[in-house]
Amino acid sequence: MNLSIQEILTQAGAFILLVWVLKRMAWKPLLKLLDERREKIRASFEEIEKAKKGVEELKYQYDQAHARIEEEARKKLQQAIDEGKQIARQLQEDSRREARNILQKAKEDITLEVDKAKVTLRNEIADLTLAATERLLHEKLDVTKDKEIVLDFIEDLEKLK
């Protein structure tokens, strides 16, 4: 190894000069670029975190809105069911009331018809009694004859049925 001190000193001086020039010229701009890049990456991560929080907030709001909509839908469905039940009850009450009215009207009609039939029957009985009495009076002969006339009259009545 034939290195002389002068060569070593020259190389050491050149190395120190190179380090000093690199430090002055290259390291500061290079470190500045690295710092700027590090700052951009940090800012990007912050933006990603903000966006993530924004997405989480939107998801929470969506879930809340979805839950409210479902609750409203359940309420409206229950309200429609209750309304349907109320209408069904009202229809049943109306039908029962109408059936009672029809039944009452039928009873009244039957009572009226029975009363008419009684009056008609009473009049017919009176007419028949008068006719029988008139026959008896016209043909009054004896008890046997009277009985025969009444039996004939009863037979005539049975034929009318």
Say how many CA atoms lie within 13 Å of 53 toward its Cβ: 5
pLDDT at 120: 82
Domain ranges of the chain: 5-160
Per residue in 29-76, pLDDT tens? 888 888 999 999 999 999 999 999 999 999 999 999 999 999 999 999
- Measured CA to CA, the distance from residue 161 to residue 157 in angstroms comes to 7
